[in-house]
């Protein structure tokens, strides 16, 4: 399926509050015109605006190809709105990390991303949910929440993707270890009691945090969630774990608990906020699920990240 030829009506939604979004609405429109993408409507959401409401309006207006420009949190919100429908999602990576684009092999430059929209293919990807709220890359509790809180707009603007490393170093010193219980409603694993934790994460996609891999085998269309918990350890061991974040092999470290499942319930002591694709959106206890092939999305023709199977 070529989305440009199949779509009846194409809408573009730009989150001007994203790292690059405020500077590019006119450039986005021109770049889409350059690849002869016949856009029917453009919606620009100002910083602090209700992006979810605008996304719903675009779908309710009858557009069946929704091109969304913003960060991973914005794209996840859009995915949650179009999940289970025939609306096709297009991605313009305008955020700081753009990990979904990395997972789907979408170019992170605007011209390349627009060309992929015009000439790409449609695939199905899974959608994670945490207490019903959507996420595409990773949901997490613990240190990652402190990192998100440290990632202020100024730091993102000045440091770009390197902001994640800076924020992690700033947050690590003040982190308080916590206890977690993992429960598996389908009975595929025994409940796990985990003490003295740094972080618990549940991955739906392959990348998070500016290019870290969830695990060596994680994928966004494997219909499972990757669950890992990092235990507190001496700084030397933490550095060993951190050095293997990029390829995901840290999950094999003795201080990391890792498995996969379609459903997991996370209970923490004390209760903790939960970060979904860079947005603090819910709290523990949290029920995590995965919706198989829930979202139709456009990727470059060469992308091997996912296929078109249809929901099931």
Q: How far is CA 159 from CA 45, 140, 230, in A?
A: 24, 23, 26
Architecture, CATH, for domain 133-291: Sandwich (2.60)
Distance CA 277, CA 293 (A): 19
Inter-CA distances, 173 with 62, 177, 289, Å: 50, 11, 32
In 3D space, the residue among 206, 208, 184, 185 whose CA is nearest the CA of residue 259 turns out to be 184
The Cα 75–Cα 51 span in angstroms is 10
Strands 263-269 and 138-142: unpaired
Yes or no: say if 263 and 185 are a contact pair by the CB < 8 Å rule: yes
Q: How many residues does the chain have?
A: 312
* CATH 3.40.50.10330 domain residues, the chain: 3-128+293-299
Count CB-CB contacts under 10 A for residue 135. Answer: 31
Q: Is the pLDDT of residue 14 over 80?
A: yes
Residue whose token pair is 């675009």 = 58
Write the pLDDT tens digit of every residue in 262-305: 999 999 999 999 999 989 999 999 999 999 999 999 999 999 99
Q: What is the mean pLDDT of residues 56-73?
A: 94
| C-alpha triplet 210, 216, 219: angle, nearest 5° | 75
Identify the band that residue 20 occupies on the pLDDT scale cut at 50, 70 and 90.
Answer: low
Domain limits, CATH 2.60.200.40, in the chain? 133-291
Q: Which of 306, 300, 305, 297 is nearest to 120 (CA)?
A: 300
pLDDT per residue over 165-217, tens digit each? 666 656 565 678 899 999 999 999 999 999 999 999 999 999 998 899 999 99
Who's near 71: CB < 8 A, 6+ residues apart? 15, 18, 19, 93, 94, 95, 96, 97, 98, 278
**Which architecture, in CATH terms, is 3-128+293-299?**
3-Layer(aba) Sandwich (3.40)
Q: How far is CA 253 from the centre of its chain?
A: 24
CB 85 within 8 A of CB 127: no
Q: Contact 83/76 with Cβ under 8 angstroms?
A: no
Q: Mean pLDDT, the chain, as a whole number?
A: 89
| For range 53-63, the mean pLDDT | 94
Q: Is 96 exposed, middle or buried (0-12, 13-18, 19+ CB in 10 A)?
A: buried
Rounded to an integer, the average pLDDT of 232-245 is 87
Q: What is the pLDDT of residue 114?
A: 95
Q: Cα 206–212–215 angle (5° rounding)? A: 50
């Amino acid at each position: 399926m070529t989305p440009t030829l199949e779509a009846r009506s194409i809408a573009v939604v730009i989150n001007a509050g994203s790292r690059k979004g405020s500077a590019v609405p006119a450039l986005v429109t021109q770049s889409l015109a350059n690849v002869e993408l016949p856009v029917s409507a453009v919606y620009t959401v100002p910083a602090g605006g209700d992006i979810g409401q605008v996304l719903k309006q675009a779908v309710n207006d009858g557009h069946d190809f929704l091109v969304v420009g913003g960060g991973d949190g914005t794209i996840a919100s859009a995915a949650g709105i179009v999940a289970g429908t025939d609306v096709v999602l297009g991605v313009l990576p305008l955020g700081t990390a753009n990990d979904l684009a990395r997972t789907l092999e979408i170019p992170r430059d605007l011209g390349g991303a627009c060309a992929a929209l015009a000439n790409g293919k449609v695939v199905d990807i899974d959608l994670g949910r945490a207490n019903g709220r959507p996420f595409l890359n990773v949901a997490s509790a613990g240190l990652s929440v402190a990192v998100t809180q440290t990632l202020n707009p100024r730091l993102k603007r000045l440091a770009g993707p390197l902001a994640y490393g800076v924020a992690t170093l700033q947050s690590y010193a003040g982190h308080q270890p916590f206890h977690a219980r993992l429960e598996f409603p389908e009975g595929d694993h025994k409940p796990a009691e985990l003490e003295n934790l740094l972080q618990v994460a549940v991955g739906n996609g392959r990348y998070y945090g500016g290019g870290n891999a969830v695990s060596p085998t994680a994928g966004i269309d494997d219909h499972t969630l990757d669950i890992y918990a990092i235990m507190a350890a001496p700084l030397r061991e933490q550095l060993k774990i951190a050095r293997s974040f990029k390829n995901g092999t840290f999950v094999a470290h003795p201080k990391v608990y890792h498995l996969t499942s379609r459903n997991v319930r996370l209970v923490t002591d004390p209760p903790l906020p939960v970060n979904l694709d860079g947005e603090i959106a819910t709290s523990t206890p949290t029920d995590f699920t995965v919706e198989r092939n829930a979202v139709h999305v456009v990727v470059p023709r060469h992308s091997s990240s996912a296929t078109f199977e249809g929901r099931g």
